[in-house]
Chain A
Amino acid sequence: MSRWERWAWGLATVPAVGVLVAAFGLPLLQSVGASFVREGRFTWENYAIVYRLYRQDVLYTLGVAAGGVALTFGCGIPLAGYLRLRAWPWVEFLLKVPLFVPFVVTGHAMRVFLQPSGTLAAMLTAAGILPPGARLGIGEGWLGLVLALTWKHLALVVLLLVGAFRGVDDSYLEAAQGFGAGTFRQIWAVLVPMSATSVALALVLTLTSMLASFSIPLLMSRGSGPQMLMIDLYYRFGQHGDFEVASALGVVSYVMASGAVYAYLRSVTR
């Protein structure tokens, strides 16, 4: 490249970088800064408020995300392993469908599906499993959230894991079969350990995404009881107009996401 061309190309990257700095970088730094300020002075007060009002919600958020990750991987690893070992095209296709269903839509679909008088209750009643007129309680509590988050994230996890598992050479699986390993033994003893990095990466990404989930809990929300952290942040910011405490809640969520930040940064610098 000539010197003139190098300048022109360098200049052409400025708009993209500028947009990300203005709409992401600066806001990120501003929220960290604002979390330490109240009435123009440095203070820890915002964090004290977070501890006083929201510590249970932090634990609740961690619990829901942990439950979601456990269910997602509890289903995802066996499914992905089975799909690696045996062709089952229509199931593989179906599992991809939620990839294309946006988070908000998932939230609303799960709301009408799981609510006490929702479609699931109607289906179970029609099938004779529930007595007529019975209400189903799972949609309103943590279980409904765990199910909804799993439904949305399972698709990506299966996609990533099937990809990683397909990268494991057949000869290892044949050797395991030679020693009498069945399907599940081949998944646990060969596929998972040999794709440990991909499994760990998928796990970190899923956990972070669930911790930071907003639209799904917003659409499935109920008035009382513990809330997900992002719901607290939204109301603190939107209804109380309290940007400082909202920012402190944000910084708590950044700390929770640090695993994913590390994983992503490593993928760039590698």
Chain B
Amino acid sequence: MTRSLLGLAFRATVGTLVLVAILGPLTSLLIWSLAERWHWPAPFPQQLGLKYWLRMLQGDPLRALTRGVGIASVTTVLALLMSVPVSYLAARRRLPAGPLVLALFVLPQAFPQLPVFASATVLFYRWNLAGTIPGVVLIHLVGGLVYAVWTLTAAFRAVGPELEEAAVNLGASATRTFFRIALPLALPGVAASAILVFLHSLDEFNGTLLVGAPYVTTLPVYMYTASLGYELQIASVTALILMAPGVVLLLLLERFLRAEYLAFFGHL
């Protein structure tokens, strides 16, 4: 009896701690985003309202949002088109110079990004890509390709070679087999991969800050500028908009997202 009471007390304590620790910082974003007037040291804002949310619907923030969505869409399409052949060959162990090529697709995860992106900025200046949208897409493709190749390789591996072997035995060419059998069966994986790449590009900050400066401002860069300028309400509204797609995804797809896909989100 005392044991179960102790267990209950333990669960209540740990549960409360987790709740406060995880939701505390996120709640402060929400409060700040609604605080029209908040003079310290009052524990809560004197006046709440949607003023700063409405301000997001116009001017600079809206431009940053639409530009970011555009960049993310282009990045997603390009990343998927480019990574499908690599992933399919990798899944079937037919990739020329396999381990070497695959190493190229994991190293961006392992190396610190910032020095590499700083160096990329120097190169992009030489190639007239710095401060341009194509330059930002190119830098977003680094992470995007890594995510796409790994999720798609897993997806193609899960399809299994038996059906393809049957098709080949019936006289279909390898390419026809790919388009008629492997690709349709792997479509759920392709969709997951697209979402991942899109969110990566939408939230990407380090590369955009370096390569995009000073002309290309996406939402994360806009949020950074607002936060450093002590426009905490504007920054908090932007922060909530940035995290919204991911959290909605988590709520809707929790049971469908496999752990190996989820793990990729930790790097966003």
Using a CB–CB cutoff of 8 Å, the interface residues on chain A facing chain B are 1-2, 5, 8-10, 12-13, 15-17, 19-28, 30-31, 34, 79, 82, 88, 91, 93-113, 117-120, 122-123, 125-126, 132-133, 151, 153, 155-156, 159-160, 163, 208-209, 211-212, 214-215, 218-219, 230, 233-234, 237-238, 243, 246-247, 249-251, 253-254, 256-257, 260-261, 263-265, 267-269
Contacts and interface: CB of A to CB of B under 8 A. Distances in A.
Contacts of A246: 115, 118
Contacts of B206: 214-215
B41 to A, nearest CB: 5
Contact of B112 (A9, A95, A211): A211
Given A31-B115, A151-B21, A122 B224 contact: no
B203 A102 contact: yes
Contact of B29 (A20, A112, A219): A112
A108 B104 contact: no
Contacts of A219: 224, 227-228
Contacts of B52: none
Contacts of A249: 115
B119 to A, nearest CB: 4
Contacts of B103: 265, 268-269
Given A246-B118, A250-B119, 10 more contacts: A5-B173, A27-B117, A91-B14, A97-B22, A110-B25, A112-B232, A112-B236, A163-B259, A214-B114, A233-B114
B243 A23 contact: no
Interface of B: 11, 14-15, 18-19, 21-29, 31-32, 40-44, 81-83, 85-86, 89, 94-96, 99, 101-123, 138-139, 141-142, 145, 149, 173-175, 203, 205-206, 210, 220, 223-224, 227-228, 232, 235-236, 239, 242-243, 246-247, 249-250, 254, 259, 262-263, 265-268
Report which residue of A101, A117, A159, A249 has the largest number of chain B beta carbons within 10 angstroms of its beta carbon.
A101
Contacts of A103: 205, 268
Contacts of B203: 102, 104-105
Contacts of B25: 106, 109-110, 112-113, 119, 151
Nearest to B105: A20
Contacts of B42: 122
A105 to B, nearest CB: 4
A250 B121 CA distance: 14
A104 B223 CA distance: 8
Contacts of A82: 14
Given A27-B117, A28-B116, A112-B28, A104 B205 contact: yes
Given A28-B111, A212-B114, A254-B112, A95 B266 contact: no
A200 B250 CA distance: 27
B106 A109 contact: no
Given A27-B116, A254-B112, A125 B43 contact: yes
Contacts of A209: 267
A223 to B, nearest CB: 12
Contact of A109 (B26, B123, B254): B26
A17 B104 contact: yes
Contacts of A30: 119, 122-123
A56 B67 CA distance: 40
Given A27-B120, A104-B203, A261 B220 contact: no
A208 B242 CA distance: 25
Contact of B119 (A34, A79, A107): A34
A24 B118 contact: no
A148 B176 CA distance: 50
A160 B267 CA distance: 13
Contacts of B247: 97, 100-101
Contact of B223 (A34, A108, A110): A108
Contacts of A104: 203, 205, 220, 223-224, 239, 242
A30 B23 CA distance: 42
B233 to A, nearest CB: 10
25 contacts: A8-B175, A16-B145, A19-B82, A24-B104, A30-B122, A100-B243, A104-B242, A109-B26, A112-B32, A117-B40, A119-B31, A119-B32, A123-B43, A125-B43, A151-B25, A209-B267, A214-B114, A233-B114, A233-B115, A243-B122, A246-B118, A247-B115, A250-B112, A257-B110, A264-B107
